[in-house]
Amino acid sequence: MKKLGIIPVIGLIALVAILLWPSAGVGVSSSGYVSFEVTENQAQPGDISPTPYWRDFYGLDSIYLGQPLPIGAMITAYDPEGTLCGQFEVKTKGLYGIMPVYGDDSLTPEDEGAVNGDLITFRVNKILAKTDIPALWTDKVMLTKVELVANEGKPIQIDDTTYEMTIGSERIEVGDKGSENFKPHAKIFPWPDIYFSLELPTPLATATNIEGDTIKYIGPDWEAHFYQDGRNFEFEVIFNSPPPTNTITFPIDYRGLAFHYQGELTPEEIAEGHIRPDNVVGSYAVYHEEQTGFLIDGVGGKAFHIYTPLANDEEWCDLNIDTKTKELTITIDPTWLATARYPLILDPTFGLDSQGGTTDTSGENRIKGSWDTAPSGGVAESINIWCDTDTAAKNIKGGLYTWDTDSNPTTRLDYTADQIVASVEPALQYHIPVIVGYTIVSSTKYFLLAWGEADGGSTYFFYDSVSNKGVYRTETYNGWPADLDGLMTGIGRQYSVSCDFGAAPPDISNTPPTWGVGVVAESATPATGLTHFTVTNNSGFAVDISIKGTDMTGGTAWELSEDGNAGVDIVGLKAGLSGGSYNIVIKEDSPYNDLVTSLADSGTQDWGMQMFVPTSFSDGVPKSGTVTLTASAS
């Protein structure tokens, strides 16, 4: 059913309750036996929820980045609420489908997909695709041909006043979604639900149009152009006559981001061979607010870089971001502005790579890196290092170390093999698989380190200036030491070293698997006792555990009460924790109630159940039902 959220289901334990009834008439007490079969299941958040309703889509000549769809490309489909309701991996070049796109099941509280009349949107490898016809969902037509064109940086109109383009993995909206008029407004989504937006306050435009791949907002005295330039997004402001002031202020908004100013390098850094380009001096490096080094499904690390603006490609301007007033201000030197030629072009530029803006050319025979706090538990998969070299190929490697109380790395937890780095332009990010697959603990600090070989020439690492984040140490390239002894020098740098890790599914177990109810009667309230069951967290991280149930089937079904109270052919179920009472209602519809929250790794919780037998029941046919424990990372 629409509009209700879906609870992420990660680890499941199902307790299947089976009541075996002898023949009995209405209202006759009967003996019964309850057995609980413990089963486990896993489901990932964001998975498609198939329903009995679907419509099939396919394409025979669809395009991705100017070429026929490549084998392995992932096509995804979404309803207007953004629910993933279809996906297909391309098996034949240029073709996709037949791809079922599921509709919503009105009998459930979740939003599984579309309803009649919904406009379906498609993405190819996360890039929004243009369709040759409106892809309207209906349960009347079962097979529809829709060709897709998904090109990076190509503006696609998504409503009357808004366009969307994709550069790399970052989605950008130009315009103001839902507004009556087009506005010079851009909203960058480095990751879902995390964004940065800015806008030029202005009178209504005299015209808006698209020329090639550039969106143009044309006002009476100036214009705003939005377009892709390589890995950059340009928000270009063009003044046809002198602006009223030398300070241009953009209202901004953001969620889940942190802004780090990049000042001048120190004399010591310059002497070491560090390089900070002119457009990085006075700029801002923008990172995930909580995850600067740990990445889950690509979420985390550096979001983008807001480069120092250049007026008319000749005069550097001052850039300031005030996160309290939520304003981005560009200040043009008034002396230069007094003699500037027109039209005057001011180019706020957003670099959409995760690479640090400053080059450290002293990476050979040095260990360098930064620390981060793991946002959740999981298993390390790779260490990712932005790197380059100025001469022949040489080796680098990555390491994962503990964080000690003095903000230094100590014990080795995981590491990579050597990775050969070639001298290329531009630099590359190397994703190097880890050897151990260390289990990361939620809310724990770790160091992510890179080590460069000295074999003639220089090894280049990259970073942004961030207070109290980095360390380095001179060490002849060799195998990773089991213990670094905390002998590192602290520096204010966020190195471009990150760790991909998979969120390990929660692992819980529940014992015992049975409950003998014995004799039950109408309106009876049999209970296990509050220490009958024990649930154990084996996940390696803290979990929350919710509890839900189902109607009991067999003959005339017993409906599971949503408030725990019994009625005619209505059964109530409640749970309780050791030392407490039976005060947790077990119900069928979401949101489900928590059995226990923040159960620590290896922690246990005793609990029990109480049944509220129907006040009267219609037959003596055996009944069965299910109670499910659902674990998710805290």
* Tens of pLDDT, residues 420-436: 987 777 788 999 999 99
Same domain assignment for residues 555 and 485: no
pLDDT value for 456: 67
Tell me whether residue 48 is in a domain. Answer: no
Q: Which of 457, 479, 502 represents a domain boundary (last residue)?
A: 502
Same domain assignment for residues 380 and 455: yes
Tell me whether residue 363 is in a domain. Answer: no
- The three-class DSSP label of residue 335 is helix
CA distance 52 to 170: 34
pLDDT value for 24: 30
Residues 582-605 as b or e (16 or more Cβ within 10 Å = b): bebbbbbeeebeebbeebebeeeb
pLDDT value for 326: 96
pLDDT value for 152: 81
Contact of 124 with 64, CB cutoff 8 Å = yes
CA distance 634 to 129: 36
- Burial of 572 by CB count in 10 Å (0-12 exposed, 13-18 middle, 19+ buried)? buried
Same domain assignment for residues 132 and 181: no
Same domain assignment for residues 215 and 288: yes
Q: Where residue 77 sits, what CATH number does that domain have?
A: 2.60.40
* Radius of gyration of the chain, Cα coordinates, nearest whole angstrom: 30
Tell me whether residue 369 is in a domain. Answer: no
pLDDT value for 19: 39
Tell me whether residue 366 is in a domain. Answer: no
Beta strands in 312-392 (DSSP E): 315-316, 318-322, 327-331, 344-346, 349-351, 358-360, 366-373, 378-389
Tell me whether residue 361 is in a domain. Answer: no
Same domain assignment for residues 203 and 79: no
Same domain assignment for residues 328 and 382: no
Contact of 327 with 247, CB cutoff 8 Å = no
Domain that holds residue 69: 54-150
pLDDT value for 23: 29
Contact of 182 with 208, CB cutoff 8 Å = yes
**Domains: count for the chain:** 4
Q: What are the φ/ψ torsions at residue 259 (nearest 5 degrees)?
A: -115, 130
Contact of 8 with 45, CB cutoff 8 Å = yes
Same domain assignment for residues 16 and 122: no
> Which residue in 265, 261, 264, 309 sits closest to 286, CA to CA?
261
Same domain assignment for residues 120 and 192: no
Tell me whether residue 347 is in a domain. Answer: yes
Cα angle vertex 168, ends 165, 174, to 5°? 20
Same domain assignment for residues 168 and 269: yes
Same domain assignment for residues 102 and 219: no
Tell me whether residue 45 is in a domain. Answer: no
Q: Which two tokens mark 632?
A: 């998710």
Same domain assignment for residues 205 and 188: yes
Contact of 148 with 129, CB cutoff 8 Å = yes
Tell me whether residue 470 is in a domain. Answer: yes
H/E stretch holding 608 reads strand 604-612
Contact of 199 with 184, CB cutoff 8 Å = yes
Same domain assignment for residues 520 and 619: yes
Q: Torsion-angle region of residue 250: left (phi > 0), alpha (psi -120 to 50) or beta?
A: beta
Q: Which of 150, 170, 196 represents a domain boundary (last residue)?
A: 150
DSSP letter assigned to residue 366: E
pLDDT value for 205: 59
Q: Which two tokens mark 362?
A: 């002293």
CA distances 383 to 253, 431, 479, 500, Å, are 32, 6, 16, 6
CA atoms within 13 A on the CB side of 233: 33
Q: Which two tokens mark 18?
A: 């089976």
Regions in the chain scoring below 70 on pLDDT:
1-47, 141, 203-207, 456, 486, 503-504, 518-519
For residue range 139-180, list pLDDT tens digits in order: 776 789 999 988 888 888 888 888 888 888 788 999 887 777
pTM for the full predicted model: 0.72
Q: Which of 502, 535, 556 represents a domain boundary (last residue)?
A: 502
Q: Tell me, what amino acid is at 110?
A: E
CA distances 305 to 154, 387, 492, 609, Å, are 21, 18, 18, 54
